[in-house]
Every structure is written in C-alpha cells, then in structure tokens.
Amino acid sequence: MNYIEKEERPWGRYFVLQDELTYKVKRIEVEPGQRLSYQYHFKRSEAWTMVLGEAIITLDGIAKTYKAGETILIPVGTKHRIENKSDALAVFIEVQTGTYFGEDDIVRIEDDYNRK
C-alpha cells in the first residue's frame, strides 16, 4: 500500500493516502472490540466509506450498523464515533474536506483511552 504517513493508535491505525490543501484521505483500521473517541471537529467535515467488515457508527447519539460499501456523511460540528464489535478488522476510507485537517481539531467528548 502506498501512503504518506502511518500512525498507530490504541484502537488500531490509520494511513494518510493523500494530503492536499482542500482535502485529506485516510485508510482507518479499527481492531476488533475497539472504538474511536466520541468527538467532533470545528474545521472539517468527513465522509466515511466502509470497505472491510462492519462497524457501529454513532452520529449525534444515533447508532447504526454499517457494512462494506456503505457511506456516512459527517458535517462539521457533528458528534461521531465508530466502534468495531465484531471479531474481525473493520476498515473504512475517510475523506476530510474543510479548511484545516490537523489532529488538534479533534474535540473529544468521551474516550476509552483517557486522551484529551
């Protein structure tokens, strides 16, 4: 796989595939039994497309199961989280659009790993 950057996280890992002025594309892998922070962003919206496995995605308190081939749009300021309750890897492609894509634009509401 060709990627610009790889980051390990407590829940899995992500790979930056493209990083441009107006958008950023990541491949995100969520390990079985893990979930990302319940969070939101001030400066970017996201589109998540599941490409492997299935996961529960929560958007502003409403949870729904998504499978490979399904996409969810996450507008700026919308609270969101993805959780892998299966026993297999869950993978999605994240396309960020907006004015800023730094990791410091994450506002964590709840986090299993005590990150701020």
Residue 74 falls within a domain, yes or no? yes
Tens digit of pLDDT for each residue in 3-39? 999 999 999 999 999 999 999 999 999 999 999 999 9
**In this structure, what CATH number is given to the domain that contains residue 59?**
2.60.120.10
Q: pLDDT confidence of 95, banded at 50, 70, 90? A: very high
Residues comprising the chain, all counted: 116
Tens digit of pLDDT for each residue in 61-76? 999 999 999 999 999 9
Return the structure tokens found at 53.
């496995």
Instruction: Report yes or no: 64 and 88 within 8 Å, Cβ to Cβ.
Output: no
Residue 64 falls within a domain, yes or no? yes
Looking at residue 1, what is its pLDDT? 81
Tens digit of pLDDT for each residue in 80-89? 999 999 999 9
Please give the tally of structural domains in the chain. Answer: 1
Q: What is the domain extent for residue 97?
A: 5-110
Residue 115 falls within a domain, yes or no? no
Residue 47 falls within a domain, yes or no? yes
Looking at residue 116, what is its pLDDT? 77
Residue 15 falls within a domain, yes or no? yes
Q: DSSP string of 9-54?
A: ETTEEEEEEEE-SSEEEEEEEE-TT-BPPEEE-SSEEEEEEEEESE
Instruction: Report yes or no: 111 and 79 within 8 Å, Cβ to Cβ.
Output: no
Residue 72 falls within a domain, yes or no? yes
